[in-house]
Amino acid sequence: MAEVHLANVTKIYPGGVKAVDDLTLRVSDREFIVLVGPSGCGKTTTLRLIAGLEFLTAGRVSISGGVVNDVRPKDRDVAMVLQSYALYPHMSVYNNMAFGLKLRGVIKREIDRKVRSAAGMLGIEGLLDRKPNALSSGQRQRVALGRAIVRAPKVFLFDEPLSNLDARLRVQMRAELKELHRSLSTTIYVTHDQEEAMTLGDRVAVMNKGVIQQCGSPLQVYSQPVNRFVAGFIGTPPMNFLEGRLLREGGHYYFTEGANKIRLPQRLEKFLVGRENRQIVLGIRPESLAVKDGSKFSDTEPSLNVKVDVIEPLGNRSDLYITTAAGNRLVCRVETNSLPRNGAELVMHLNMDQVHLFEPGDEGVNIILRDAGGWSSAG
Ligand SMILES: Nc1ncnc2c1ncn2[C@@H]1O[C@H](COP(=O)(O)OP(=O)(O)O)[C@@H](O)[C@H]1O
Ligand SMILES: [Mg+2]
């Protein structure tokens, strides 16, 4: 059993940078959890705290139920795989993988068995005699993985291990890692790439400014983001945000921005009471917007008047970058065979089943989730 528990963990570096801020996270045995967030949000620091490579300013780190705050890194039984593979250039692949076991006094026959078994798992049996400089970056990454696997640690820590690979190889290794995890133990994986996070994680913890904003299944963070930060970070192209005002008229609620006025569905009304005439942010994903075809939709349907700024072709689909008269910018994805012209004025239809409402600000809370008690905690 290798459960990892971070309880109210804070790290302030000398000089005063608060890299991790009162972070609580419970990772279950054999779980694959991904910490994802922008550069500088505290991901590496969190891993280093778990590995014992940094001292905590406050809080507790436990592995398998025991507090390890004062346990030395080499006694924590964790293995870390880094973006820079940190292989020994003068040693063969075999010796790079065997080195940690030798240091631990494992007998030769056992080392050989482990190295060959890990090499088999990773498909690098044929490379064992080579030196790292005779390997491609993908092969080096496999050796770095192999070096961690032979140790059979309780916990694997990955710090952006695929960042140095080209796009194609990254996708391939991603699939292999997911497969590999079945035979590995508890894994905490760090990346800034939300797509990697969504495809790899049993759960995804979205971080910003040293704080876990939301932790949940990939689908949960995608479809029920707790705040605007999570909503905007997860998904490509990202969610669109329209800044406007909430209006109540004739017993109905409306979102208004400039001349655009969108009637909000009745199911949302109970969350909107008392917010009349206040600033509000409407969030809608690109796939929930469609170019309105006069024959399909009636006038009472929720729509936006927009102008096309840029068209970005992606093959069978294209991204339209559009602006409203009030200055809100949006992206929507359309079929390439029915493209408007650059500069054209369009009416966009909004799928109101997929609309989110946030309070103003970069981390403005999801009003509907919060009031519905839909917070998912990281603990
Ligand atoms: N050794 C250090 N000393 C001082 N500040 C640091 C140190 N390492 C990281 N930081 C700062 O802590 C914050 C979090 O860094 P880091 O954990 O590396 O983020 P991430 O891995 O998410 O990019 C950043 O503001 C970074 O500049
Ligand atoms: Mg980092």
pLDDT surpasses 50 at 377: no
| Contact criterion met (CB below 8 Å) for 231 and 358 | yes
Q: State the pLDDT at residue 247.
A: 96
Burial 215-238 (b: 16+ CB within 10 A, else e): bbebebbbebbbbbbbbbbbbeee
Ligand 1 centre to CA of 242 (Å) is 32
pLDDT surpasses 80 at 372: no
* Nearest alpha carbon, ligand 1 atom 8: 45
Closest ligand 1 atom to 13 CA: 4
Which CATH architecture best describes the domain 240-371? Beta Barrel (2.40)
Q: Which residues contact 337 (CB under 8 A, 6 or more apart)?
A: none
Ligand 2 centre to CA of 164 (Å) is 13
In the DSSP assignment, the letter for residue 184 is: S
91-103 pLDDT, tens digit per residue, is 999 999 999 999 9
* Nearest alpha carbon, ligand 1 atom 26: 40
Closest ligand 1 atom to 41 CA: 22
Ligand 1 centre to CA of 42 (Å) is 6
Residue tagged 């779980």 (tokens): 31
* Mean pLDDT in residue range 291-309: 74
Q: State the pLDDT at residue 92.
A: 97
> Do 240-371 and 4-233 fall under one CATH topology?
no
Closest ligand 1 atom to 11 CA: 12
136-190 pLDDT, tens digit per residue, is 988 999 999 999 999 999 999 999 999 888 888 889 889 888 888 888 889 999 9
**Pocket test residue of 13, 36, 46, 82 for ligand 1, highest count of atoms within 8 A of CB:** 13
Q: Which residues contact 253 (CB under 8 A, 6 or more apart)?
A: 246, 247, 263, 264, 268, 269, 272, 276
Q: Where are the beta strands (DSSP E) in 109-172?
A: 155-159
* Mean pLDDT in residue range 352-374: 84
Closest ligand 1 atom to 38 CA: 22
| Confidence at 240, pLDDT banded by 50, 70, 90 | very high
| Confidence at 289, pLDDT banded by 50, 70, 90 | very high
* Mean pLDDT in residue range 201-215: 97
Q: State the pLDDT at residue 278.
A: 96
Q: Residue 269 in 3-state DSSP? A: helix
Domain boundaries, the chain: 4-233, 240-371
Is domain 4-233 classified as CATH 3.60.20.10? no
Structure token pair of residue 54: 């940094």
Closest ligand 1 atom to 192 CA: 22
Handedness of CA 69, 73, 74, 77 (dihedral sign): positive
Protein residues with CB under 6 Å of any ligand 1 atom: 13, 15, 17, 19, 37, 39-45
Cis before 237? omega within 30: yes
Structure token pair of residue 292: 């309105």
Q: State the pLDDT at residue 379.
A: 37
Q: State the pLDDT at residue 300.
A: 65
Rounded-to-integer distance, Cα 25 and Cα 222, Å:
19
Ligand 2 centre to CA of 159 (Å) is 7
Ligand 2 centre to CA of 59 (Å) is 21
pLDDT surpasses 50 at 71: yes
Q: Which residues contact 91 (CB under 8 A, 6 or more apart)?
A: 99, 131, 132
Average pLDDT, rounded, for the chain: 91
Structure token pair of residue 275: 């917010």
Phi–psi pair at 331, nearest 5 degrees: -125, 140
Rounded-to-integer distance, Cα 322 and Cα 240, Å:
11
| Confidence at 293, pLDDT banded by 50, 70, 90 | low
When comparing pLDDT for 242 and 303, which is higher? 242
Q: State the pLDDT at residue 83.
A: 83
Give, in order, the Cα–Cα distances in Å from 176 to each of 120, 179, 180, 226.
13, 5, 6, 31
| Contact criterion met (CB below 8 Å) for 34 and 71 | no
Q: Which residues contact 146 (CB under 8 A, 6 or more apart)?
A: 93, 97, 115, 118, 119, 121, 122, 124
24-33 pLDDT, tens digit per residue, is 999 999 999 9
Ligand 1 centre to CA of 194 (Å) is 20
Of 231, 251, 258, 270, the residue nearest 355 (C-alpha)? 231
Phi–psi pair at 151, nearest 5 degrees: -80, -15
Q: Model pTM?
A: 0.91
Residue tagged 């294209």 (tokens): 318
Rounded-to-integer distance, Cα 203 and Cα 27, Å:
9
Rounded-to-integer distance, Cα 15 and Cα 81, Å:
28
